[in-house]
């Protein structure tokens, strides 16, 4: 029973398989990190695009209103209550 025993051979094979699995997991993690950051950038870009598009849409009477100035106006001059 030396280095060629069945238990030792199985242990070596198991170590090889675990190392290959670890490499695959590391590769997958790296790929997922890249996709995660790409998704963040795309989402942020789309939000900016649709925010700008929404700011240019007509709200009433064909006039173009922007969200930010209207929000600032609400804080500076709140609507009068009855």
Give a yes or no: residue 82 inside a domain.
no
Total of domains in the chain: 1
Give a yes or no: residue 25 inside a domain.
yes
Q: Which domain holds residue 41?
A: 6-76
Contact 67, 55 (CB under 8 A): yes
Give a yes or no: residue 45 inside a domain.
yes
- Token digits of residue 64: 């173009």
Contact 62, 78 (CB under 8 A): no
Q: pTM of the entire structure?
A: 0.43
Per-residue model confidence as pLDDT tens digits over 16-54: 999 999 999 999 898 888 888 888 888 888 887 777 655
Give a yes or no: residue 81 inside a domain.
no
**DSSP secondary-structure letter at 62?**
T
Q: How confident is the model at residue 14 (pLDDT cuts 50, 70, 90)?
A: very high
| Backbone phi, psi, residue 60, to 5° | -150, 140
Contact 64, 57 (CB under 8 A): yes
Q: Tell me the mean pLDDT in the region 55-72.
A: 51
Q: How confident is the model at residue 7 (pLDDT cuts 50, 70, 90)?
A: confident
């Amino acid at each position: 029973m030396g280095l060629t025993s069945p238990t030792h051979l199985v242990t070596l094979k198991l170590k090889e398989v675990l190392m290959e699995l670890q490499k695959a997991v590391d590769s997958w993690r790296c790929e997922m990190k890249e996709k995660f950051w790409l998704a963040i950038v795309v989402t942020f870009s789309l939000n900016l695009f649709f925010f700008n598009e929404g700011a240019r849409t007509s709200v009433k009477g064909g006039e173009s209103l922007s969200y930010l100035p209207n929000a600032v106006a609400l804080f500076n001059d709140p609507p009068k209550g009855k």
